[in-house]
Amino acid sequence: MNDEPDLTPAPRSLRPAAASLAAGGALFAALALLLYSQQNELLSTTSVASQLDDQGKLRPLAEVIETTRALKLVTVTIDSRVRTHVRDEQWRGTASAVVEAPVRYVYGVDLSELAPDAFRVGKLLGIYEILIPRPIRIATEVDGTHPVEEIVEVTGTRFRSRAGEYYLGLARKEIYEQAKKNALPKETMADIETKTREQVENLVRKFVGPSADVRVSFQN
């Protein structure tokens, strides 16, 4: 009796399948990395596109200079209070008056005369650096018609209706000169410089692009 042939298929090796699976995973990872890189490049290109002109070049430095100069005067206002004290002593008694009123200080920077060497442009990263003067006080506005406080004191035989009102008038007159003499605290001046710097940076970005890297610093 002849033996029947064995028709059971021989088991195939699993190594080729595993190798194919590994190769496919590596290819997928490479494609994912490529897509991620292209996405980042696209985002980077979009972020700097607004800094370019119609020909795809960074805006010329001369244009940035002229635009910044055209801003002319950049101002920051600070509201505060001013106080004056007038006193007169005589043998008949003492008369004094105190007046406190609101005051508004205006600080400004004149950009119209900035020298060309106050501007720098980084060709590689497109950074605009502008060096400006520190803000100075250009106006002092005292609202003497709406005083915060008025105090009149008289002693002895001196009368409020005469001596008191007289020195109250002197205090009102001196309040403007006192406001001009007053120096603001260092913290307030630092806040004025910060607001000035941010204001100039935002104004320049309106021309070179909202995402442009504009950095303003002050001259020593």
pLDDT digits (tens, 9 = 90+) for 69-103: 887 888 999 999 999 998 888 888 888 889 999 99
Q: What is the pLDDT of residue 124?
A: 57
Contacts of 215 (CB under 8 A, 6+ apart): 127, 128, 129, 130, 201
Instruction: Say whether both 37 and 80 belong to one domain.
Output: no
- Is 20 or 124 the better-scoring residue by pLDDT? 124
d(CA 201, CA 212): 10
Domain count, the chain: 2
Does residue 9 belong to any structural domain of this protein?
A: no
**Shared-domain flag, residues 92 and 178:** yes
The percent helix, strand, coil of the chain (3-state, each to 5) is 40, 30, 30
**Residues 109, 211: one domain?**
yes
Do 120 and 178 fall within a single domain? Answer: yes
Mark whether 86 and 182 lie in a shared domain.
Answer: yes
Under 8 Å between Cβ of 98 and 168: no
Cβ atoms of 112 and 199 within 8 Å: the answer is no
- 38 and 90 together in one domain: no
List, for residues 143-163, the tens digit of each pLDDT value. 888 888 888 888 888 887 777
Q: Which pair of tokens denotes residue 103?
A: 């005051």
> Rounded distance, CA 23 to CA 29, Å?
10
Question: Would 2 be classed as within a structural domain?
Answer: no
Tell me the whole-structure pTM to 2 decimals.
0.65
Q: Which residue has the tokens 């940076």?
A: 201
Q: Are residues 122 and 172 in the same domain?
A: yes
Asked whether residue 19 falls in the same domain as residue 66, the answer is: no
Q: Are residues 95 and 194 in the same domain?
A: yes
101 and 200 share a domain? yes
Mean pLDDT for the chain overall: 75
Residue 185 has pLDDT above 90, yes or no: yes
In this structure, are 41 and 140 located in the same domain? no
The per-residue pLDDT for range 32-72, each reduced to its tens digit, is: 444 344 344 333 333 344 444 554 444 566 777 777 788 78
pLDDT the model gives residue 61: 63
19: containing domain: 14-49
User: 3-class secondary structure for 24-92?
Assistant: HHHHHHHHHHHHHHHHHHHHHHHHHHCCECCCCCECCHHHHHHHHHHCCEEEEEEEEEEEEEEEEEECC
In a domain, 6, yes or no: no
